[in-house]
Amino acid sequence: MAEEIGLFEALYTQRALRKLKPDDVPDELISKLIESATKAPSGGDRQPWRFLVIRDPETKRQIAEYYLRAWEQAYPSGSVGNTISAGVYASADHLARNMAGVPVLIMACIERTGTEATFGLGGSIFPAVQNLLLAARGLGLGCALTSLHKRYDSEIKALLGIPDNVETAALLPVGYPEEGTRYGPTRRAPVADVSYREKWGQAW
């Protein structure tokens, strides 16, 4: 287990790490990630999240095929500079072409009762996903929030035996970072550029 870090160090240095070693990640650490995820808030404290841990090589291979197909559809040749930076493209392309070799895939899912709007469902699963990402940072694991699998959602749900009343929200590849792959600090727009005071458009 990695040396403990403070909350704000985790917040300011957690980033998507997509270049991961094939080395095994113990169940103990995966359980810690999921336990951390379950400490998040959810609507009505319903806790509708479910986490599917995928290690089987053949299952990962099939998911990886769908994921690569979705990646090439979403970011065809010429995407760099128009919709995505060169650095992010290279990192995401690496993951898309090496997903099958990632030691653990976690599918974050949410059970629906049939009444929630999609946006409302997100409010009860993505805080849990963020907790999981922060826990990965604290444990020295690489992880990234991906959702391109949604382009082949029905096929992947069938592959994994996910019921109709369960939505897949995020596919989270987990592993130890490759050599040369590092955590933050991350670069973000200043608070003044993304915040208003009292009314929209008024300077912070």
Dihedral sign for Cα 192, 129, 24, 140, please: positive
On the question of pLDDT at 152 being above 90, the answer is yes
Dihedral sign for Cα 91, 106, 117, 130, please: negative
| Residues above pLDDT 70, as percent of the chain | 93
Residues 100-130: pLDDT tens digits? 999 999 999 999 876 655 666 788 899 999 9
Q: What is the pLDDT of residue 85?
A: 85
Mean pLDDT value of segment 45-68 = 96
Return phi, psi of residue 95, to 5°: -65, -45
Q: What is the pLDDT of residue 77?
A: 73
Residue 96 C-alpha from the chain's centroid: 13
What the block records as the tokens of 114 is 């049939």
What the block records as the tokens of 124 is 């009860």
What is the β-pairing status of strands 142-143 and 166-175?
antiparallel
Q: What is the pLDDT of residue 119?
A: 61
Mean pLDDT value of segment 135-145 = 96
pLDDT tier for residue 48 given thresholds of 50, 70 and 90: very high
Separation in Å, CA 157 to CA 84, 163, 164: 28, 7, 8
178-183: which pairs have CB atoms within 8 A and are 24 or more residues apart?
Answer: 178/19, 178/20, 178/21, 178/142, 180/19, 181/17, 181/19, 181/20, 181/142, 183/13, 183/14, 183/15, 183/17, 183/137
Residue 2 · residue 155 · CB < 8 Å: no
On the question of pLDDT at 36 being above 60, the answer is yes
On the question of pLDDT at 30 being above 70, the answer is yes
Q: What is the pLDDT of residue 140?
A: 95
Residues 59-100: pLDDT tens digits? 999 999 999 999 999 988 766 766 778 888 999 999 999 999
Q: What is the pLDDT of residue 116?
A: 59
Residue 81 · residue 26 · CB < 8 Å: no
- Spatial strand order in the sheet of 166-175: 49-54, 104-111, 166-175, 142-143
- Mean confidence (pLDDT) of the chain: 92
Q: Which domains, and CATH codes, for the chain?
A: 27-178 (3.40.109.10)
Strand partners, 107: 52, 171
